[in-house]
A and B are shown apart, each in its own frame.
Chain A
C-alpha cells in the first residue's frame, strides 16, 4: 500500500486557542477536529472527488478570520429584485448593521450561531446531526464544524410561509481568509421557505459552508446557492437535508468563475411522498472548475426525485456532475430521473458526467441520461443566415440551452443572475 499517498492532507489552519460555547459544543468541535486530522482533505482517492481537485487549495495561504467586522455599505450586499429578511456574513462574522431581521414573520426565528449557542435551544443542538462525520470524505465538514466561524440557526413554526425569501450573503473582503460557515434549519410541518445563499469575495479566499436542514411533513424548502469568484477563489458547499412525508426539497445552484467550486448535496427522502429536485448550471472560462455532486436517498415508498444539470464550458474550464440516486430496500414505487447535458465551447474545456443509480428495490422507474457536445452547427447556420452575428447567435443558443434549467429556479432574480453570467455563449 502506498502509505505516503494515503496520508491525510490537512491545511495549515489551527484551532483558535480559546474555545467558546457550551460544553457539548466544545466536545463536538473536539471530535470533529480529530476526525479532520484523521481523514484530511478529500482527494482523488475518493470516488466522489475524482473530478474535484483539492490540491490547489493546499497551494495557497489561507487563514481563519480574525473576527473583525469590515466596513460595508448596503449597496454592496443588495441584489436586485430580492426583498425580505437578510443576513449579512462578512469575513467570518455576522454583520448586524447590514442584516435585516427586525421584521420576521410570526413563527420564524433567525439567530446567528454564536447567539443561539449562548442562549441554547432554538434548534442549535441539531448542528452536526445530519452532516455525518464517519465516512472517509468527511474532511471538509469536520473542519467546518471544528472551526465554525458563524452561521445562522433558522426555525419555522408549522405552516409558517414567509412571502419573501431569506437571503444569506457571504462575503470576504480580505485576501487569504477562509471562513467556515455553518447553517442549520428546521421547517415545521407545512412551512414553506425560499433560502437564497450568495457568495462573493476578493482575492484568494475560500468559503467552506455546511447547511443542515430538516424539512418536516408537508413542508417545502427552496434552496438556492449562487456563487461568484475568480481564478483565486475557492468554494466548497455541502447541504444535508432530510425530508419527511409529503415534504419537498428543491436545491438549485450555480457557481461562476472559481478555481474550484464544489456544490455537494445529500437529500434523504425518509417518508412516503417526499420529493426532491436538484437543478444546477455551471461553466465559465479560464482555469475554472465546477463540480456538482448530489446524493439522493429514497428510503420510503412513493418518493420522487428529479435532477437537471447543465454545463456550458469555455476555454480551459472543467465541469463535472456526479449524481448518485440510491433506492433503498423496501422503497417501492419510486420515480427518479437524472439528466445532465454539457456544451463544450472550446478545445481546452472538459466535461465529466456520472449519473449513477444504486437500486435495491424492484418496483422502480429510474432513468438517467447524459450528453456532451458542441453548439449545433445547423442551428448556428440558421441564425447566421438570418443576419444574426455569430457571437449573438452563439449567445442565443447557449442561453436557450440553459433556459430549461433556469425556469425551474424558484426565484426569478436568481435565474436572471445565472443567465447574465452563463448565458453569454462564452468561449471561442
Chain B
C-alpha cells in the first residue's frame, strides 16, 4: 500500500530531533589512547589501593586478547579504541551554565513537555550545583536519612576508600572482568559509578532515584554500578532520566552488577534518552552495557525495568542468574528506535535454583529507519526443578523503512520446567488511529495514546513519578522531535 503524503505517521516520524546541542570541550583530559600507563594514571588519580589497580590491569590484559563482538544485529563503523580519551576531569562549576537562563531553551521546553519538576530542571540541565537552589540541602537531608538506616550510597570511588572489604568482596563477582569485550574494557578503565549497600532487614525508605537525580555527578562513559541487597532488604534504584542527556562521549560501556541475598529484592529501573544521532545516525551514543543481577539467596528477587529511547546503538541485555531456590527474575522493557537508531536488546534468565521463576515482557517500537531487535535467552539448567518462565515480546512497526527482529533462545534441560514464549509483530493499526482521530485527538496524541497502551505493562513497573514522565517520553520520542 502506498501511503498518501499527508500520512500523520510519516509527518511524525520524519521530524528532526531538535534537542541536539554541543557542550564545551573539557580541559584536563588525557590525550587519546589506552595502555597500562593510562590505567595507572586513572587509578592514581582516584587514589585507589594496589589490589584494584592490579584488578584493572588484569582486565586490560584480558581485553587485549579479546575480539569485539559482532553477533548483534547492529551495524556501525569500526571503533578506534586508541582514539578515545579515557580520563576527563569532572566539570568545574564555573564552566557550567550559571542559571537556567543560559540553558538551551529547547531543552527547557522538553522538560516542560515531560513534566519534570521545577526544582530538578536546573540540576538536569547541568547548571552548576551551587546555583541549584535547595538541592544541596535536599541531598544532605536524604543522605542523613539513608545513614540512619545504615544504607551506604556513594560514588564507587568513595566506597573503595571507605568500604574496601565490601567492594572487594563483590566487585566483578557477577560480571567478571573477562565476561565480554566491553565489560573487560570497563573493568580496566571505569571512571565512576555508584555503590549501594542495603543492610540486613532494611527496606530502603526512598526511591534511590530521587536522591540520584538531584545529586548525581556526571557519571561518564565507563560507569560502573554495584548494588548489594543483604538478607531481607529492599531497594528501588533508578538510573538515568527522561530528560535528553547531554554527553560528548560517543562510546559508553557501562557495567552494572546486582547481588540479592536471601529474601532480598532489588528493583532496578532505567530510563535512557541519550542523543540518538541525526537522521543519518551521525553522532549518536553507542550504548554497550553489561548488566547482570545475581539472585544469590533463596527467595530473592531482581526486577529490571527499562525504557530505552535514546542512543544511536543500544547493545544491552540486563540478565538474572537465578541461583537461589524460589528466586524470581523479571525483565520489563520498552525500546524505541526512530531515525537511524539500532537497538539489540533483551535479557538472559538463567535458572539454576529450584522453583525459580522469570517473566520477560519486551515491547519494541520501530519507526523512521530504526532497527529494533529483541534477543533473549531463557536457560533452564537440569538442577532447576519446577522452573517457570513466561516470555512475551511484541513489536510495533511504524513506517515501511524500519525493521523489527526477534531472536529468542530457549534452552531447557529439566522436564519439570515450564517455558512459554510468544511474540507478535504488527504495524500500528489504521483503525485505532482513525478511531482516536475521529474523537478529536490529533495525530500526535493518537499515536502517543496507542503506543502507551502497547507499552502499559512495562510502564506500570516503573516507580510512579517516572512512569508519568516515561509515558510522555514515549510520545515525544516518536515525534522524532522533542519540541
Interface: B425 (CB within 8 A): yes
Known contacts A362-B402, A373-B417, A356 near B408 by CB under 8 Å: yes
- Are the C-beta atoms of A366 and B421 separated by less than 8 Å? no
A253 to B237, CA, bound (A): 50
Provide the residues of chain B in CB contact with A362, threshold 8 Å: 397-400, 402, 427
A360 at the interface (CB under 8 A from B): yes
A-facing mask of B320-351, CB < 8 A → 1, else 0? Answer: 00000000000000000000000000000000
Does A68 have its Cβ within 8 Å of any Cβ on chain B? Answer: no
Chain B residues closer than 8 Å to A359, beta-carbon distance = 395, 397, 403-405, 425
Q: Does B406 contact A (CB under 8 A)?
A: yes
Distance to closest chain B CB from A307 (angstroms):
13
User: Which A residues are closer than 8 A to B by beta carbons?
Assistant: 1-2, 47, 50, 329-330, 332-333, 342, 344-374
A-facing mask of B9-45, CB < 8 A → 1, else 0? Answer: 0000000000000000000000000000000000000
Nearest Cβ distance between residue B355 and chain A, in whole angstroms?
Answer: 15
Complex CA–CA separation, A344 to B416 (angstroms): 8
Q: Could you write out 27 A-B pairs with CB less than 8 Å apart? A: A47-B71, A329-B400, A329-B401, A330-B400, A347-B415, A348-B382, A348-B413, A351-B411, A352-B411, A353-B421, A355-B406, A357-B405, A358-B403, A359-B395, A359-B403, A361-B397, A361-B400, A362-B397, A362-B399, A363-B427, A364-B427, A367-B425, A368-B406, A368-B423, A369-B420, A369-B421, A371-B421
List 8 A-B pairs, minimum CB-CB distance, nearest first: A344-B415, A362-B397, A353-B410, A372-B412, A366-B425, A372-B419, A357-B406, A370-B421
Contacts of A355 in B (CB 8 A): 406, 408, 421, 423
Q: Collect the chain B residues with CB atoms within 8 Å of residue A332's CB.
A: 1, 400
Using a Cβ–Cβ cut-off of 8 Å, how many residues does chain B contribute to the interface with A? Answer: 38
- Which residue on B lies nearest to A364, using beta carbons? B425
Known: A355-B423, A374-B416. 19 other contacts (CB 8 A): A1-B67, A2-B67, A330-B400, A350-B413, A351-B412, A353-B421, A356-B405, A357-B406, A357-B425, A359-B403, A362-B397, A363-B1, A368-B406, A370-B410, A370-B419, A371-B421, A372-B419, A373-B417, A374-B415
In this assembly, does B140 line the interface, its C-beta being within 8 Å of a C-beta of chain A? no
Closest to A368 in B: B423
B409 at interface, CB cutoff 8 A: yes
Query: What B residues does A47 contact at CB under 8 A?
Result: 71
With known contacts A364-B427, A366-B424, A354–B417 Cβ distance under 8 A:
no
Q: Using A362-B427, A364-B426, A366-B424 as known contacts, say yes or no to A353 and B414 having CB atoms under 8 A apart.
A: no
Contact A369 B422 (CB under 8 A): yes
CB–CB B402/A349 < 8 A: no
Of all chain A residues, which has the CB nearest B391? A370
Known: A344-B412, A374-B416. A368 touches B404 (CB 8 A): no
**Nearest residue in A to B409 (C-beta to C-beta)?**
A354
- Shortest Cβ gap from B86 to chain A (Å): 23
State the CA gap A354–B406 with chains docked (Å).
Answer: 9
Q: Which residue of B lies closest to A355 (CB)?
A: B408
Q: Which residue of A lies closest to B403 (CB)?
A: A360
Q: Mark B81-117, 1 if CB is under 8 A from A, else 0.
A: 0000000000000000000000000000000000000
Chain A interface, DSSP helix/strand/loop, else mixed: strand
Interface of B is mostly: strand
Contacts of B408 in A (CB 8 A): 353-356, 370
- Chain A neighbourhood of B423, CB < 8 A: 355, 357, 367-369
CA distance A1 to B71 in the complex (A): 15
Contact A354 B412 (CB under 8 A): no
Given contacts A353-B408, A368-B423, contact A373 B403 (CB under 8 A): no
A357 and B412 contacting across the interface, CB-CB below 8 Å? no
Q: Evaluate contact between A352 and B410: CB separation under 8 angstroms.
A: yes
Inter-subunit contact B404/A365 (CB<8 Å): no
CA distance A47 to B415 in the complex (A): 25
The CA-CA distance from A39 to B411 in the complex, in Å, is 27
| B249 interface residue (CB < 8 Å to A) | no
A372 to B379, CA, bound (A): 11
Cβ of B418 < 8 Å from any Cβ of A? yes
Complex contacts, A330 vs chain B, CB 8 Å: 400
Q: Which residue of A lies closest to B385 (CB)?
A: A347
B415, B419, B421 — most chain A CB neighbours (10 Å): B415
Contact A358 B421 (CB under 8 A): no
Contact residue among B401, B409, B416, B422 (Cβ-Cβ distance under 8 Å from A368): B422
Chain B residue contacts of A346, Cβ below 8 A: 415
- In the assembled complex, the Cα of A350 lies from the Cα of B400 at a distance in Å of 39
Which residue of the partner chain A has the closest CB to B416?
A374
Complex contacts, A349 vs chain B, CB 8 Å: 413, 415
Set of chain A residues within 8 Å of B416, measured between Cβ atoms: 374
Complex Cα spacing A350 to B407, Å: 19
A366, B404: Cα distance in complex, Å: 11
Q: What is the chain A residue whose CB lies nearest that of B419?
A: A372
Q: In the complex, A410 Cα to B310 Cα: how many Å? A: 50
Q: Which chain B residues numbered 409 to 468 have a C-beta less than 8 Å away from chain A?
A: 409-427
Measured CB to CB, the nearest residue on chain A to B397 is: A362
A277 to B47, CA, bound (A): 64
Min C-beta distance of B20 to chain A, whole Å: 27
Q: A332-B400, A357-B406 are in contact. Are A372 and B422 (CB under 8 A)?
A: no
**Residue among B71, B403, B409, B425 with max Cβ neighbours from chain A (10 Å):** B425
Question: What A residues does B397 contact at CB under 8 A?
Answer: 359, 361-362, 364
Bound: A174/B129 CA distance, A: 83
In the complex, are the beta carbons of A372 and B417 less than 8 A apart?
A: yes
Which residue of the partner chain B has the closest CB to A2? Answer: B67
Q: Which of B395, B398, B411, B420 contacts A350 (CB 8 A)?
A: B411
Q: Is the CB of A363 within 8 A of B419?
A: no
Contacts of B67 in A (CB 8 A): 1-2
Distance, CA A374 to CA B416, complexed state (A): 6
CA distance A235 to B457 in the complex (A): 45
List B contacts of A366 (CB < 8 A).
424-426
Task: Indicate if the CB atoms of A342 and B412 lie closer than 8 Å.
Answer: yes
* Chain A residues whose C-beta falls within 8 Å of the C-beta of B414 in the assembled complex: 344, 347
Complex CA–CA separation, A349 to B416 (angstroms): 11
Docked Cα-Cα span, A197 to B307, in Å, equals: 50
Q: Which of B411, B417, B420 has the most CB of A within 10 A?
A: B411
